[in-house]
Structure 1
Amino acid sequence: MVGKRYSRQREMIYQAVCGTDQHPTAEMVYQWLKPANPNLSLGTVYRNLNLLADEGIIMRMPFPVERYDANTEPHTHFRCRGCGGVFDLELAYDPEIDASACAAEPGFRIERHDLIFTGLCPHCGEQEERGEELV
């Protein structure tokens, strides 16, 4: 990690985000790390996640509850309306979307786009098909 002075807590928080594909919230990271780090505060987790995002080391994802992603390369996401989970989709980034947007809106300089699909993940889709209430 570059930027600010090294911090054991920041490194631990960064590793927690890198070690999952769940696109965690700050609360999730806090709950994962708290048992082994009783002095850790939720404020410390928020501060360090935001610092890492500001430095471009992780990506901040603006959902109703902010989530974080260690993969900062442009890629596509899926948000489940049932469980609220966020998943990466194996769909190639399409730079033609950027070019089309620039052509449609002269004067704008498009640097990248974030594509988020919304629907039901396989688990919630099965629940809905069985007539169960989505959690």
Structure 2
Amino acid sequence: MQRMGFEETIAELRANGVRLTPQRQWILRYLKETHSHPTAEQVHHEVSKALGGISLATVYNTLHTLTKMGVIRELSYGDGSSRFDGNETEHAHLVCDQCGTVIDIESPEVEQILSPEATRNGFNIRAYRLEFYGVCEDCQKEQAVEN
């Protein structure tokens, strides 16, 4: 499945009768155009640059709604704050243990591995979440400078 861009997502939502407030559009645009997996607070900070009067509660409510619609994904890493991913397709992540950076990786091989196992067990896979934890390149460079 190919990742949908902002315009495609807007067209699909309109076709399904979804009300698209300016706030929803700005938040969705930001998430579709970034690859940084921001927190709600980071989304609020960025979207506030365009929509000065947007409240944090509106951002939270919109993120929840967009997640329920399936056009964004909510990622939780146990640190108390969710991150949001504008890439709605099935994919894996690299997660830095030190700085928390989250990087998308395409993983078509995962489906090839899971499908036969799921079939053998009579399981219908609806979605998956695969993450690899380690240290990103920037943090490794920082460590090298400190040592």
Q: Shared topology, TM-score over 0.5?
A: yes
1:75 aligns with 2:120: no
> Where do 1:42-81 residues align within 5 Å?
42-64=56-78, 65-81=81-97
Residues 31-88 of structure 1: per-residue CA shift (max 9 Å, x gap) = 1122332211111001001100100111111223211111111111011111111111
Q: Is the 8 A contact 1:76 1:91 kept in 2?
A: yes
Q: Percent identity?
A: 32
Mapped contact 2:23–2:51 kept (Cα < 8 A): no
Are 1:121 and 2:136 an aligned pair? Answer: yes
Contact 1:56 1:72 in 2 (8 A): yes
Which letter does structure 1 place at the counterpart of 2:113? I
More helix by share: 2
Which runs of 5 or more residues in structure 2 are unaligned? 1-9
Alignment partner of 1:25 out of 39, 42, 48: 39
| 8 Å contact from structure 1 (residues 101, 110) kept in 2 | no
TM-score (norm 2): 0.78
Which residues of structure 1 form unaligned runs of 5+? none
Is 2:55 aligned against 1:41? yes
Deviations 1:1-56 (A, max 9, x none): 32531201110111111121101111101111223322111110010011001001
Aligned CA RMSD, in angstroms, stands at 2.0
| C-alpha distance in structure 2 between counterparts of 1:42 and 1:15, whole Å | 17
| Alignment CA distance shift 1:93-1:22 (3 Å) | farther
Alignment partner, residue 112 of structure 1 = 127
Q: For residues 50 and 63 of structure 2, what CA distance do their matches in structure 1 show?
A: 19
Question: Quick check: 2:94–2:133 contact (8 Å CA) kept in 1?
Answer: yes
